[in-house]
Amino acid sequence: MSLLYEGKAKRIFTTEEENVLKVEYKDEVTAGNGAKKDHLPGKGRLNNLITSKIFEYLNDQGLKSHFIERISETEQIVEQVEIIPLEVVVRNIAAGSITKRLGFEKGHKFNEPLVEFFYKNDDLNDPLITDAHIKVLEIADDKDIEALQSAALEINNHLQQLMSKMDLRLVDFKIEFGRTKYGNLILADEISPDTCRIWAQDSDENFDKDVYREDRGSIIDVYQSFLNKLEDIK
């Protein structure tokens, strides 16, 4: 197996099988495009266990992703895809960047879920982009943009149902998609408290990375309690 790519929180390896990769989750946490970073033993395990469970749940709901199987506490096997350089964000409740950009009060509930696209580009600080920008950047055409939007909303429905079974609220989340060798668009990357905002049902207690972003305690404890809730679902 050889290292194909190393990112902030994961390492990607080739495997003996063509088009199959191994993802290793690292014990690193970053925020603000790497401006804040820390080594947190146990974090890779939590993200791997949580992401694997969520991808399995989505798969059970008929929603395919790149996920194949979890092979250890910190590793999973995935289908090789070419990642589309877009962060697709879905918001149910205002928090984070949209409160600063558009002046929504934190906690404002949107009448319907909002889908936003950010251009995955560290040098440019991942700017918010429009459909027109996506087309001139030749990232995707109208048909693919439409497909990404509707897949994101469908994933939102499933994740909202999952969180409500856990007595939690899904505030917002970021997903990424990739193209398979057959040209299909599928859900990829990860879904975890690193990439979602999750609040308690009756308060704005966080079960997500805001605890780290805002120096409000141990994300290891918070992510472990999220995992416990996920494992307790009937």
Sites of contact with ligand UDP (CB under 6 A) = 87, 89, 96-98, 126, 172-174, 195-197, 209
CA–CA separation, 69 and 228 (whole Å): 20
CB of 172 to ligand UDP, least distance (A): 4
Long-range contacts of residues 181-185, Cβ cutoff 8 Å, at least 24 apart:
181/19, 181/80, 185/84, 185/144, 185/147, 185/148, 185/151
In the complex with ligand UDP, the residue whose CB is nearer, 81 or 95, is 95
Question: Which DSSP category does 206 fall into?
Answer: B
CB of 174 to ligand UDP, least distance (A): 3
CB of 123 to ligand UDP, least distance (A): 14
CB of 19 to ligand UDP, least distance (A): 26
Amino acid 35 reads A
CB of 79 to ligand UDP, least distance (A): 21
Element (H, E) at 87: strand 86-93
String of DSSP letters for 8-77 = SSEEEEE-SSTTEEEEEE-SEEEETTTTEEEE-TTHHHHHHHHHHHHHHHHHHTT--BSEEEE-SSSEEE
Residue nearest to ligand UDP (CB): 96
String of DSSP letters for 164-184 = HHTTEEEEEEEEEEEE-TTS-
Neighbours of 33 (CB within 10 A): 12
Long-range contacts of residues 204-209, Cβ cutoff 8 Å, at least 24 apart:
204/106, 204/107, 207/168, 209/29, 209/31
CB of 196 to ligand UDP, least distance (A): 5
CB of 197 to ligand UDP, least distance (A): 4
CA–CA separation, 171 and 96 (whole Å): 10
